[in-house]
């Protein structure tokens, strides 16, 4: 089983959208884990809140949404987002996993 941290999902979703709600994150997580039986996304209220507190330079609260900060694009480039996944899932799953996030985050 491969475990993906909440901040990895949030950062990749926000690459495609300006903001996302917790409910939307849960919906995306459910679709991904249904598609990839070997991937477990560590997503809960506490892991989401932790990610936002731990990464204030890239995530912030905006009412009931998680939003990109002004520095998000400077920090979360493709190389950085790719490096977040390097130790979490094997290379052969990475491309399909990222494509699925792009599809579900529309």
Label residue 24 by pLDDT band (50, 70, 90): very high
In this prediction, residue 28 carries a pLDDT of 97
- Give dist(CA 59, CA 14) in Å, integer: 9
pLDDT (tens digit, 9 = 90+) per residue, 79-104? 888 888 877 898 889 989 999 999 99
Neighbouring residues of 45: CB distance < 8 A, sequence distance ≥ 6: 22
Helix, coil or strand: residue 90? coil
For the whole model, what pTM was predicted? 0.91
pLDDT (tens digit, 9 = 90+) per residue, 29-82? 999 999 999 999 999 999 999 999 999 999 999 999 999 999 999 999 988 888
Quote the strand ranges of the chain, DSSP E.
2-5, 19-21, 39-42, 59-62, 65-68
Which tokens in the block code for residue 5?
A: 């941290």
Contact of 53 with 36, CB cutoff 8 Å: no
CATH 1.10.10 fits 2-104, yes or no: yes
Q: Where are the domains positioned within the chain?
A: 2-104
Q: What is the CA radius of gyration of the chain?
A: 13
User: E strand or H helix at 15, and its extent?
Assistant: helix 6-16
């Amino acid at each position: 089983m491969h475990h993906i941290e909440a901040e990895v999902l949030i950062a990749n979703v926000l690459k495609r959208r300006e903001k996302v709600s917790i409910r939307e994150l849960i919906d995306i997580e459910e679709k991904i884990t249904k598609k990839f039986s070997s991937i477990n996304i560590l997503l809960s209220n506490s892991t989401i809140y932790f990610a936002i507190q731990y990464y204030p330079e890239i995530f912030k609260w905006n009412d009931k949404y998680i939003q990109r900060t002004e520095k998000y694009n400077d920090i979360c480039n493709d190389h950085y987002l790719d490096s977040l996944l390097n130790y979490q899932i094997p290379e052969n799953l990475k491309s399909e996993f990222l494509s699925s996030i792009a599809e579900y985050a529309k």
